[in-house]
């Protein structure tokens, strides 16, 4: 039961963090999101698309046992659609919280690695966190001065304790 609860919390955290970051990004000038930065994926928009591709890829494996290609086709100058797709894929991932302990501990083969389903869920949440951090760094590098929302796991824990479901 503990593993199931922890997985649920991690998947809900990922959804919360992606919703916070993307809703904030949609409040800033869109041209900044397409500005070349020299980063891993070139732009904030493309970094979001990378997070989306990874989430879609892992959901397909974790929920359906299907391995598809990792990279979705790049969408040009379509950050609104990318944000919507990213949030929807985060909701899809959160639906994996219905997996029971046996399903979570089942070892599955992915490429040249065999790990428990839970380990791969932890990976995809960690992967998204890593790239959200890149997005924040890119925003600061591009001179965005307005307050960037907290998306750390600790911020989520505070939120579920203090803000969720109208507690405040």
Percent of the chain whose pLDDT exceeds 90: 79
Q: How confident is the model at residue 167 (pLDDT cuts 50, 70, 90)?
A: low
Q: What pLDDT is recorded for position 78?
A: 83
Q: What pLDDT is recorded for position 39?
A: 86
Neighbouring-strand partners of residue 108: 115
The average pLDDT across 47-57 equals: 95
Residue ranges covered by each domain of the chain? 2-162
Q: What pLDDT is recorded for position 110?
A: 87
Q: Please provide the CATH number assigned to the domain covering 2-162.
A: 1.20.120.450
Q: What pLDDT is recorded for position 90?
A: 98
**What is the CA 145 to chain-centroid distance, rounded?**
24
Report pLDDT digits (tens) over 141-158. 999 988 999 999 999 999
Between 42 and 72, whose confidence is greater?
Answer: 42
**pTM of the model as a whole:** 0.92
Whole-number CA gyration radius for the chain: 16
Q: What pLDDT is recorded for position 146?
A: 85
62-99 core/surface letters (b: 16 or more CB in 10 A; e: else)? beeeeeeeeebeebeeebeebbebbbebbebbbebbeb
Between 158 and 70, whose confidence is greater?
Answer: 158
Q: What pLDDT is recorded for position 45?
A: 95
């Amino acid at each position: 039961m503990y593993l199931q609860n922890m997985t649920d919390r991690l998947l809900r955290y990922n959804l919360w963090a992606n919703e916070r970051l993307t809703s904030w990004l949609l409040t800033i000038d869109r041209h900044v999101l397409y500005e070349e930065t020299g980063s891993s994926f070139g732009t904030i928009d493309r970094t979001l698309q990378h997070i989306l591709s990874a989430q879609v890829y892992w959901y397909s494996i974790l929920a359906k046992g299907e391995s598809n290609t990792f990279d979705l086709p790049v969408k040009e100058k379509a950050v609104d659609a990318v944000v919507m797709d990213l949030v929807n894929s985060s909701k899809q991932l959160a639906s994996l919280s219905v997996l029971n302990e046996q399903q979570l501990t089942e070892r599955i083969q992915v490429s040249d690695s065999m790990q428990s389903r839970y380990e791969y869920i932890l990976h995809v949440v960690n992967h998204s966190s890593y790239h959200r951090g890149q997005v924040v760094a890119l925003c600061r590098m591009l001179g965005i001065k307005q307050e960037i929302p907290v998306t750390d796991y600790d911020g989520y824990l505070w939120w579920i304790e203090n803000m969720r479901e109208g507690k405040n």
